Structure 1
Amino acid sequence: MTTRKIKTTDHTSNLPRHELLHVAEAVAREKSIDREEVLSAMEQAIQKAAKAKYGYEHDIRAVVNRNTGEVSIFKGMTVVDVVEDPHTEISLTDAKLEKENAVVGDVLEERLPPVEFGRVAAQSARQVIFQKVRDAERARQYEEFKDKGGQIISGTVKRVEFGNVIVDLGRAEGILRRDDIIQRETFRSGDRIRAYIADVRPDARGPLVALSRTHPQFMARLFEQEVPEIYDGIIEIKSVARDPGSRAKLAVFTNDASIDPVGACVGMRGARVQAVVTELQGEKVDIVLWSANPATFVVNALAPAEVVKVVLDEENHRVDVVVGEDQLSLAIGRRGQNVRLASHLTGWNIDVLTESQEATRRTEEYASRTQLFMDRLDVDEMIAQLLAAEGFNTLEELILAPIDELTAIEGFDEDIARELQTRAIVYLEAKSKESVAAAKKLGIQEDLLSIEDITPEMFVKLAENGVKTLDDFADLAGDELVEIVGPAMLTIEKANEMIMAARAHWFEDEQQ
């Protein structure tokens, strides 16, 4: 039943009227919060004082008239069939004596005499009002700053505590921790400062605004302020990598063929980039052109070094970059800085080699693959060299290769091609049986052997690390599995897929 409130008036309050409204308006202006929130806090304070006078067991509420400032105090009694709490409930029979059409669920409210605030009551009311106003002020501050994450904000240094800088942001305080300050930067009280809002979280003392001057996006936002084409969306910042206070790389791109994105960011006589460098305490900035082609992007990212050759390993997300002897130190940079920043910028693991190093590595790899085919296929060196020269790295690749691809190799006919694949299959099957036998000796259970895509080599590694049953395997996290078997055998995506397959029987048990 819908609750109806039926008011019966016995007493009238004569508390000060307009003064209350004036105080509420003054507090609201001073704290920049809604007048309604101040009046609500006053009502709660008056209600607390009234309960102290009339008894906390009663259902008492206070109302401040928003137009006149008149304060009314009411005691409510809920109409019920059977009274369990005589302080807050009234029987239907008694209720009808006061209001003829009263029904169960109605609330009868009796107006109480005004409360005279004594010293203790006044202090208590003041504390309630202050607390509610503070809560409202903090909530307003959080609402103001919560959507400013990712922006640059200016403020004044308020104080420095143990290397952390407290910044006055006007309506809130921000904290710039030591790790978020550029090396060699020092701040004193009263200094003006610009920083990136890295995070905003609610806190008991107000919004916690975490600032940073080392965040990669701080530099990106600075360029956005200095370069109109970036602000307008004509030029896009694709990625940023920073070694704060020392060096940074910025990858930019545009679909507008008439605009040079790198030149636009540099500006006339370097004016735009210099403005950013000055703000970043002299941090050197390399601006490079982004490309959807990974090899091209890596070459651009390693500038100013000149690259001779790029070899991508997409499976392991690695790239070998070959440079001339005179370009090696430039490509790597001091303490590996240039290649490290290029890796962060592109998202690829970059390995820089000289031409002689690359030649030596290729020779060693070629010899290693040749020996592998000689040992496992029982063939002479010439056939093994031909397979290695054609780019075959494993027996699995040889087995999966089409016959016509093998017969295209000089000196190979169909009979030789099929014989090589047969020998590869026989070797791998024998190796698989040996590995499974070794795994069983180590305690691998049959249920784990049934998991698809686990190679015999993986079984041995799992057993050596105490993973011997299907449930042991299902309990692993993807990164744990990759760490056990090695990233060369398994990607994190495949590891997660295999673990979910191993967990399938858990859900089948739950359904039964």
Structure 2
Amino acid sequence: MASSIAANKAELLAIANAVATEKMIDKSIVIEALEEAIQRAARARYGAENDIRAKLDTQTGDLRLWRVVEVVENVEDYFKQVDLKQADKLQKGAVVGDFIVDPLPAVDLGRIDAQSAKQVIFQKVRDAERERQFEEFKDRTGEIITGVVKSVEFGHVVVDLGRAEGVIRRDQQIPREVVRGGDRVRALIMKVQRENRGPQILLSRAHPDFMKKLFAQEVPEIYDGVIEIKAAARDPGSRAKIGVISHDSSIDPVGACVGMKGSRVQAVVQEMQGEKIDIIPWSEDTATFIVNALQPATVSRVVIDEEEGRIEVVVPDDQLSLAIGRRGQNVRLASQLTGRGIDIMTEAESSEKRQKEFVERSEMFQQELDVDETLAQLLVAEGFSELEEVA
């Protein structure tokens, strides 16, 4: 791009073409950047006060330079105004108030100008490139993408996605998973946002949707929509649960997700660093679904408290620790999966709680309604719990 901008026309167009092809952006953007660079250089040459325009012919490479001047009675600004006498030389029949063109000889851009021209072009190209990246990725949220780890900075993994780069923040990684530069890695595109330094592509390996998408890749029936994953919950790197339902009665949703000898689920488990996955039949009925969700523990009964939005699950004494799971993991995942708060208690605790409620309510009726103990207990036994209900 040295001093021959004016001299070598073909070269200018060749540069524009090469940059456009390499960066995969529109050639017109590069031409515009060149024109802007030339205008800057010409202002530096003829004085920055001039209103200078440049036009590059995309076919021939011809460069036209001109300044725009206004025709006035009395010239005050010699850079942007001309009187009628001068105007007539430039354009026959020009009248006051016209804006006319004063052609300038094409400047031979020196070294300095070439440098500033280069900067303008790079800046324009960079902006266009960022815009293209954003356009390319903005509709791809929720997809799984494969990239190569570029670097790991402060625990965040920077991934090269080919024509852009994404980042897996620390909280979106699978705990204890070790990745190094050069590793190939799959992740879910969580969100794409515009930022000054280019689009931010946020990736995740810990999101429940990452697991759902992996299943869709392994299980053709999910991809085809015959089986649907209704809910998913994860404790990344440790355990996960998914609720599945089949829209075709002849296909068993759990069996299809597990695959022959567990081949399908195993492929997902490996990708998720050995995370154990419970595959659970989904059910419209909350109670049934909760019993399923608490697998592998067996449940005696489920009491749903609609008002509180909480659910009491009663389990046999020997099943309590299994139902709760290590550090409460099993009940926590079941709760995430069903979207309900779950309280787990043993038969003994449950009957104790019932007993306590029974006594409290019958005492309340005795006091509030001024009835004897037998009648109060009878009301409670009949299922009354509030004064309003009795009224």
| TM-score normalised per structure 1 | 0.71
CA distance in 1: counterparts of 2:180 and 2:18, whole angstroms: 35
Aligned to 2:164: 172
Q: Displacement of 1:84 after TM fit? A: 8.1
Post-superposition CA distance 1:84-117 (Å, at most 9, x none):
866445689986883537695x642222111121
- The answer to whether residue 360 in structure 2 is matched with residue 368 in structure 1 is yes
Separation of aligned partners in 1, 2:299 and 2:78: 90
Does the alignment pair 1:216 with 2:238? no
Task: Tell me whether 1:202 sits opposite 2:194 in the alignment.
Answer: yes
Q: 1:158 aligns to what?
A: 150
CA positional deviation for 1:162: 2.4
Q: CA deviation at 1:397?
A: 3.0
The alignment status of 1:30 with 2:15, answered yes or no, reads: no
Q: Is the 8 A contact 2:242 2:279 kept in 1?
A: yes
2:284 counterpart SS class:
coil
Contact 2:298 2:315 (8 Å CA) reproduced: yes
Q: Which amino acid aligns with 1:100?
A: G
Q: Are 1:261 and 2:253 an aligned pair?
A: yes
Q: Conserved in 1, the CA contact under 8 Å of 2:297 and 2:322?
A: yes
CA contact (8 A) 1:172 1:206 kept: no
Structure 1 residue identity aligned to 2:317: E
Distance 1:355 1:99, change over 3 A: farther
Q: Which amino acid aligns with 1:204?
A: N
Post-superposition Cα deviations, 1:374-424, rounded to whole Å, max 9, x if no partner, equal: 11121111221122122222223333xxxxxxxxxxxxxxxxxxxxxxxxx
Larger relative contact order (CA 8 Å, sep ≥ 6): 2
Secondary structure at the counterpart of residue 147 of structure 1: coil
Give how far 1:258 is off: 1.7
1:261 and 1:69, CA in 2 relative to 1: closer, same or farther beyond 3 A?
same
RMSD across aligned C-alpha pairs, in angstroms?
Answer: 2.3
SS at match of 2:19: helix
How far is 1:335 from its partner?
Answer: 1.2
Distance apart, 1:346 and its partner CA:
0.5
- For the residues of structure 1 that align with 2:87 and 2:225, how far apart are their CA atoms? 70
Give the aligned partner of residue 223 of structure 2: 231
| SS of residue matched to 1:123 | helix
TM superposition shift of 1:207: 2.1
Kindly state the Cα deviation for residue 174 of structure 1 after the two structures are TM-superposed.
1.6
1:54 to 46, 49, 55: 46
Structure 1 residues 96 and 212 mapped into 2: Cα distance closer, same or farther (>3 Å)? same
Residue 93 of structure 2 corresponds to 100
Contact preservation (8 Å) 1:319, 1:349: yes
Cα deviation, residue 352, structure 1: 1.0
Secondary structure at the aligned position of 1:148 is classed as coil
SS at match of 1:19: helix
Distance 1:36 1:364, change over 3 A: same
Contact 1:15 / 1:70 at 8 angstroms: preserved in 2? no
Query: Quick check: 1:16–1:70 contact (8 Å CA) kept in 2?
Result: no
Residue number in structure 2 paired with 1:42: 34
Matches of 1:201 and 1:166, distance apart in 2: 16
Helix, strand or coil for the counterpart of 1:320? strand
Please state if 1:183 is matched with 2:183. Answer: no
CA distance in 1, matches of 2:76, 2:55: 27
Structure 2 SS opposite 1:62: strand
Q: Is the 8 A contact 1:200 1:207 kept in 2?
A: yes
Report what 1:351 is aligned to. 343
Say whether residues 1:273 and 2:226 are aligned partners: no
**In proportion to residue count, which structure has more strand?**
2
Q: Please state whether the residue corresponding to 2:308 is helix, strand or coil.
A: coil
2:387 maps to 395
Change (3 A) 1:79 1:345: farther
Give distance in 2, aligned partners of 1:324 and 1:336. Answer: 17
The answer to whether the 8 A contact 2:6-2:107 is kept is no
Please report how far the alpha carbon of residue 364 of structure 1 lies from its aligned counterpart in structure 2 after TM superposition.
0.6
With over 3 angstroms needed to count, the CA separation of the structure-2 counterparts of 1:77 and 1:392, relative to structure 1, is farther
Shift in CA distance, 79/296, structure 1 to aligned 2, threshold 3 Å = farther
Query: Do the aligned partners of residues 60 and 398 (structure 1) sit closer, same or farther apart at CA in structure 2, a change above 3 Å counting?
Result: farther
Counterpart in the other structure of 1:385: 377
The whole-number CA distance in structure 2 between the counterparts of 1:33 and 1:330 is 58
| 2:158–2:168 Cα contact (<8 Å) kept | yes
Q: Deviations over 1:226-268 (max 9, x none)?
A: 0111111221111110000110001112222122111111111
Range moving further from structure 2, 318-327 or 242-251: 318-327
Query: 1:202 Cα shift?
Result: 2.4
Change (3 A) 1:362 1:108: same
Q: Which amino acid aligns with 1:386?
A: L
**How many Å separate the matches in 1 of 2:264 and 2:227?**
14
Which among 89, 98, 111 is matched to residue 103 of structure 2? 111
Aligned partner (choices 292, 304, 311) of residue 319 of structure 1: 311
Percent identity of equivalent pairs = 59
Verify the 8 A CA contact 2:84 2:94 in the aligned structure 1: no
Q: Show structure 1 runs of 5+ residues with no match.
A: 1-12, 400-512
Quick one: distance in 1 between partners of 2:258 and 2:371?
60
Once the two structures are TM-superposed, the CA of residue 33 in structure 1 deviates from its matched residue by 1.6
Is residue 64 of structure 1 aligned with residue 56 of structure 2?
Answer: yes
- In 1, distance between residues paired with 2:92 and 2:381? 103
Query: Quick one: which amino acid aligns to residue 46 of structure 1?
Result: I
Q: Describe the superposition over 1:417-457 as per-residue Cα deviations: whole angstroms up to 9, x where unpaired.
A: xxxxxxxxxxxxxxxxxxxxxxxxxxxxxxxxxxxxxxxxx
1:133, distance to aligned residue in structure 2 (A):
1.2
Q: What is the number of residues matched between the two proteins? A: 386
Q: Do the aligned partners of residues 143 and 82 (structure 1) sit closer, same or farther apart at CA in structure 2, a change above 3 Å counting?
A: farther
- Alpha-carbon distance between aligned partners in 1 of 2:96 and 2:227, rounded to the nearest angstrom: 70
Q: Which whole-Å CA distance do the structure 1 matches of 2:232 and 2:78 have between them? A: 70
